[in-house]
Amino acid sequence: MMNEARVLVVEDEPMVAEVVDRYLRRDGYDVAIVHDGKAALAEFASFQPDLVVLDLMLPNVDGKEVCRQIRARSQTPVIMLTARSEEIDKLVGLELGADDYVTKPFSPRELVARVRAVLRRAGNQAQANPDTLQFDGLSMNGLTREVEGLSGPVKLTAREFDLLYFVASHPGQVFSRTQLMDAVWDYAFAGDTSTVTVHMRRLRTKVEPDPSRPRHLKTVWGVGYKFEP
């Protein structure tokens, strides 16, 4: 089977959800339907979809927040469903990292075509280079250990690369200095986590265009650091 991809549909209008479900299944997709934002986040974790079709206006947690939280933990493609009047929200959807959007009322056939196209694009990217992590103005290759910043190749020490690659592999996740120490330094260090601080500072001067206002390598006050995708 070509299309065994899992699609999570988040839509609170039962009629719309039902039609989308039917068309996606007919095309061979494995579909899960949920009707609100809270259920969407729970289902996202357990169903592990390859793509999410996400309505913008949802009860309890809205589509924007759902999209933001999905983006904080994965690169799973998201297609937003928006009402015609929601022009601004449409843009916000893309700013939030949604891959595409479809305005309501939409033809289910068109939605299925978009799903197929976005999945193909995502699949090609994943196949092209599974070890390359790519972000806004920054990419790193886990095999060649090459790093490209906005102004070209960046030279990092082995430890700096390991630290950067580790946090970038877990976008949005907050790590304490001790956790980073354990993950990146492969020997039991005598507990001086200021090493992490020093490495993080050096990394910022190398990969951040404005190290005092980092785009990716964020400090989480009182806790540690996180990589913002």
Q: How far is the CB of 59 from Ca ion (least distance, A)?
A: 8
**Cα of 44 vs its chain's centroid, Å:** 12
Let me know if 215 is exposed, middle or buried by CB neighbors in 10 A (0-12, 13-18, 19+).
middle
- E strands within the chain? 6-10, 30-34, 51-55, 78-83, 100-104, 132-135, 138-141, 147-149, 152-154, 174-176, 217-220, 224-227
Give the residue with the Cβ less far from Ca ion, 55 or 208: 55
Q: Which residue is nearest to Ca ion (CB)?
A: 57
Number of residues this chain uses to bind Ca ion (CB under 5 A): 3
Separation of alpha carbons 119 and 115, rounded Å: 6
Q: Which stretch binds Ca ion (CB under 5 A): 12-20, 84-92, 105-113, 190-198?
A: 12-20
The residue from 3, 6, 12, 176 that contacts Ca ion (CB under 5 A) is 12
Site string (183-202) toward Ca ion, x via CB under 5 A: --------------------
Q: Which is nearer to Ca ion, 82 or 154 (CB)?
A: 82
- Residue 104 beta carbon to Ca ion: minimum distance, rounded to whole angstroms: 9
Nearer to Ca ion, 57 or 92 (CB): 57
Q: Tell me the closest approach of the beta carbon of residue 83 to Ca ion, in angstroms.
A: 8
- CA distances, 158 to each of 21, 23, 164, 177 (Å): 48, 50, 10, 18
Residue 15 or 128 with smaller CB distance to Ca ion: 15
Cα-to-chain-centroid distance, residue 208: 20
Q: Is 81 exposed, middle or buried (0-12, 13-18, 19+ CB in 10 A)?
A: buried
Question: Which residue lies nearer to Ca ion by CB, 40 or 168?
Answer: 40
Rounded to a whole number of angstroms, the minimum distance from the CB of residue 66 to Ca ion is 12
- Window 20-79: residues binding Ca ion (CB under 5 A): 55, 57
Strand partners for 96: none
The binding site for Ca ion (CB under 5 A) comprises 12, 55, 57
